[in-house]
Amino acid sequence: MANDPVCGMDVDENSASATSEYEGRTYYFCALSCQREFESNPEKYATG
């Protein structure tokens, strides 16, 4: 399981609604709206 960095929801990597790559890491999202929010400001949500 992964954690949606925008809303905090647990997301199954195999069935995530959306993904995004940022600085070599894949982020998984529960919904396209969370992916869009992340991509509008990834520095706010990306974790080291």
For residue 48, the model assigns a pLDDT of 59
Measured CA to CA, the distance from residue 34 to residue 11 in angstroms comes to: 12
Measured CA to CA, the distance from residue 12 to residue 10 in angstroms comes to: 7
Residue 36, classed as helix, strand or coil, is helix
2 closest CA partner among 21, 20, 22, 13: 13
Q: Where are the domains of the chain?
A: 2-45
Segment 1-48, tens digit of pLDDT: 999 999 999 999 999 999 999 999 999 999 999 999 999 999 999 975
